[in-house]
Amino acid sequence: QVQLVQSGAEVKKPGASVKVSCKASGFPFTTYFFHWVRQAPGQGLEWMGIINPTDVTTTYAQKFQGRVTMTSDTSTTTVYMELSNLTSEDTAVYYCVRAGFDPWGQGTLVTVSS
């Protein structure tokens, strides 16, 4: 079936980087863009950016420019989101989402703590 499966929870120290993966299955990977959305504990949803996995073109929210990198691997039908220079404010669940906003991955909790 159509699904996105993300990598597991991460705990990072301030200043570190995290890379979250999202493996797609059940549909033609290269015919869809992918979004990344995050949600801090008890907070709302925040769009981070979008990637075209075919040519790896990206558009990032200005808030994350310079800190986020979205990549893809068509051979494994996987997209990645790397966020650098982490602070406690980056503690959140990170979701990958197929264009059209369905389906969503199950989410990856990233905790930033010293």
Partner 1 sequence: DIQMTQSPSTLSASVGARVNITCRASQTIDTWLAWYQQKPGKAPKLLIYKTSYLEIGVPSRFSGSLSGTEFTLTISSLQPDDFAIYYCQQYNSYPYTFGQGTRLEIK
For partner 1, which stretch binds (CB under 8 A), given 7-15, 19-27, 74-82, 98-106? Answer: 98-106
**Does residue 102 touch partner 1 according to CB under 8 A?**
yes
CB of residue 24 vs partner 1: minimum separation in angstroms?
A: 15
Cα separation, 91 vs 11, whole angstroms: 9
Check if the beta carbon of residue 100 is closer than 8 Å to that of residue 33: no
Which residue type does 60 have?
A: Y
Residue 47 touches partner 1, criterion: CB under 8 A: yes
Are 3 and 101 in contact, with CB atoms under 8 Å apart? no
Q: How far is the CB of 97 from partner 1 (least distance, A)?
A: 8
- Site of tokens 């990344």: 36
Interface residues with partner 1 (CB under 8 A) are: 35, 44-47, 49-50, 59, 61-63, 95, 100-102, 104-107
